[in-house]
């Protein structure tokens, strides 16, 4: 029995060893080639596409940037010199610098605020959906929306309409925009007002006839003007549109001549100081009661001609860049909020509660605990926005009208306009593309370094 066990042991061991040797031999003989073949099958198409769509265009663009407009002459660094000497291209570089300095920080900050605040409200999900919805449309479509919203006319542009509501709450525009005195006795201008040369005393009347008023500006509640009646201890008068269809006599109230309601009427003393003021009624009538003895002059106040709010020129040369930035932040704030909210959800609530237990206020918890723990997520959002603003293009093209595109120009838009926007200078356009590529490389390197550090 002992011999049979001794014999069986080596046999089993030998069988086991030989089987293992064949398996290892087969894997060692076939696996490397098979792995290389599988790698070539899967990576081959990707490598071909990478070379065709990325490597070759990049090399070709770099080479093309050293040649002239049509590619026939070698011009060296002339195209790169034009980058910093052409006014339009210098404006593009300056605007891109503003974009880089403002937009990434604002998007990240707004996203952080939204992410933190929405944790404390019941309708936080609905708010996040509303803020994230602009990401569902293209930047070009978002630019078209904001282009319409920025229309200067408050009756058409939503932004100026909102501003007008606030402006109307604190100030009211004048009832007229322009006028002239109908007689030589009423002199002045819309900036200084119109003063009646004829002195008037208590118990007297004053006629303030105005002309050169467009029919469309006559107040809708205007009625037939009526000659004023003297009143003891008071000065009465009428301000009216001194114009009668078919002709009339200046300075005389006649049928079909309308009184002007809402006109600011002033009573000035001999030195020109305003002692009383009032508003004219529906028929243009006004009265100053309790007038002391003395000589006065009636006048139409300059605030009668205060122009109503006409809208801010958001699409003008001065505000076009900030206006586009606002539209861009509106689109990307939702992205930043969602990413930061995901990072915020991963923070241990025990750490936050421990800080509150130790007596830290909510601001201290946010500044010393929440924000530092969100630093990796914030860096992801910030670097992503840096890359995006360096190559911003479509929203600038759709928001800025043709008259102010030079003022809103950025590097990517300048590249497109130079190459394909009618100039057809492919040499300079290639140089702009290479310059933009060089600007993006440090940011990409920073992003790759961050990924390696995290892994």
Taking alpha carbons only, the member of 400, 404, 402, 428 closest to residue 414 is 428
Q: Using CA of residue 66, residue 70, residue 71, residue 72, what is the dihedral sign?
A: negative
Q: Within this chain, do residues 300 and 318 fall inside the same structural domain, yes or no?
A: no
Last residue of a domain, one of 239, 274, 305: 305
pLDDT, tens digit (0-9, with 9 covering 90-100), for 120-146: 788 888 999 999 999 999 999 999 999
Residue 384 has pLDDT above 70, yes or no: yes
Q: What is the CATH number of the domain that holds 320?
A: 1.10.3720.10
Residue 24 has pLDDT above 60, yes or no: no
Residue 65 has pLDDT above 90, yes or no: yes
Residue 5 has pLDDT above 80, yes or no: no
State the pLDDT confidence band at 455, using cuts at 50, 70 and 90.
low
Residue 167 has pLDDT above 80, yes or no: yes
Structurally, the chain folds into a number of domains equal to 3
Q: What is the pLDDT of residue 30?
A: 56
Q: Within this chain, do residues 158 and 228 fall inside the same structural domain, yes or no?
A: no
Last residue of a domain, one of 283, 305, 327: 305
State the pLDDT confidence band at 202, using cuts at 50, 70 and 90.
very high
* Across 68-77, 199-208, 221-230, 299-308, least confident range: 299-308
Taking alpha carbons only, the member of 320, 314, 313, 312 closest to residue 407 is 320
> Is 298 or 39 the better-scoring residue by pLDDT?
298
Q: What is the pLDDT of residue 122?
A: 84
The answer to whether the beta carbons of residues 444 and 93 sit under 8 Å apart is no
- Sorted by sequence, the CB contacts under 8 Å of residue 293 that are 6+ apart come out as 201, 202
- Sorted by sequence, the CB contacts under 8 Å of residue 301 that are 6+ apart come out as 193, 263, 264, 265, 266, 274, 277
Taking alpha carbons only, the member of 446, 434, 426 closest to residue 72 is 426
* In a domain? residue 335: yes
State the pLDDT confidence band at 108, using cuts at 50, 70 and 90.
very high
Q: What is the pLDDT of residue 21?
A: 45
Residue 11 has pLDDT above 80, yes or no: no
Last residue of a domain, one of 249, 276, 305: 305
Residue 12 has pLDDT above 60, yes or no: no
* In a domain? residue 71: no
For the chain, the average pLDDT equals 88
Domain range for 220: 180-305
The answer to whether the beta carbons of residues 103 and 422 sit under 8 Å apart is no
Residue 15 has pLDDT above 50, yes or no: no
Q: Within this chain, do residues 421 and 322 fall inside the same structural domain, yes or no?
A: yes
* Of 167-171, 343-347, 405-409, highest mean pLDDT: 405-409
Question: What value does the mean pLDDT take over residues 14-32?
Answer: 50
* In a domain? residue 174: no
Rounded percentage of the chain residues whose pLDDT exceeds 90: 63
Q: The whole model's pTM is what?
A: 0.75
Question: What value does the mean pLDDT take over residues 335-349?
Answer: 91
């Amino acid at each position: 029995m002992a011999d049979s066990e001794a014999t069986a042991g080596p046999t089993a061991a030998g069988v086991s060893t030989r089987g293992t040797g064949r398996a290892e031999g087969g894997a060692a003989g076939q696996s490397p080639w098979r792995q290389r073949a599988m790698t070539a099958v899967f990576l081959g198409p990707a490598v071909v596409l990478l070379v065709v769509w990325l490597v070759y265009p990049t090399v070709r663009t770099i080479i093309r940037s050293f040649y002239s407009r049509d590619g026939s002459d070698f011009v060296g660094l002339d195209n790169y010199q034009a980058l910093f000497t052409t006014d339009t291209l210098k404006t593009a570089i300056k605007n891109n610098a503003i974009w880089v300095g403002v937009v990434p920080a604002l998007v990240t900050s707004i996203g952080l605020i939204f992410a933190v605040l929405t944790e404390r409200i019941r309708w936080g999900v609905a708010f996040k959906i509303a803020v994230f919805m602009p990401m569902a449309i293209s930047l070009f479509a978002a630019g078209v929306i904001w282009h319409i919203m920025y229309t200067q006319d408050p009756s058409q542009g939503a932004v100026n309409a909102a501003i007008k509501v606030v402006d109307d709450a604190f100030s009211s525009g004048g009832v007229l925009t322009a006028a002239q005195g109908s007689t030589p006795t009423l002199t002045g201008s819309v900036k200084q007002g119109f003063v009646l040369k004829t002195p008037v005393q208590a118990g007297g009347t004053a006629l303030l006839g105005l002309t050169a008023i467009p029919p469309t500006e006559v107040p809708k509640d205007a009625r037939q003007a009526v000659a004023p009646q003297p009143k003891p201890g008071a000065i009465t008068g009428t301000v009216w549109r001194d114009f009668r269809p078919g002709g009339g006599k200046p300075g005389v109230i006649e049928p079909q001549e309308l009184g002007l309601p809402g006109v600011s009427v002033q009573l000035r003393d001999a030195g020109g100081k305003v002692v009383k003021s009032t508003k004219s009624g529906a028929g243009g009538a006004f009265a100053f009661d309790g007038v002391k003895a003395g000589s006065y002059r009636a006048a139409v106040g300059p605030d009668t001609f205060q122009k109503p709010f006409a809208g801010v020129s958001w699409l003008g040369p001065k505000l076009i860049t900030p206006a586009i930035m606002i539209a861009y932040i509106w689109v990307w704030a939702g992205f930043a909020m969602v990413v930061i909210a995901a990072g915020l959800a991963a923070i241990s609530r025990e750490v936050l509660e421990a800080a509150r237990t130790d007596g830290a206020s909510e601001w201290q918890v946010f500044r010393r605990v929440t924000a530092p723990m969100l630093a990796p997520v914030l860096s992801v959002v910030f670097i992503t926005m840096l890359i995006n603003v360096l190559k911003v293009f479509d929203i600038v093209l759709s928001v800025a009208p043709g008259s102010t595109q030079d003022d809103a120009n950025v590097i990517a838009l300048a590249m497109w306009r130079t190459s394909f926007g009618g100039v057809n200078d492919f040499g300079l356009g290639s140089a702009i593309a290479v310059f933009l590529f060089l600007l993006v490389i440090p940011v990409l390197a920073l992003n790759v370094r961050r990924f390696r550090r995290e892994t």
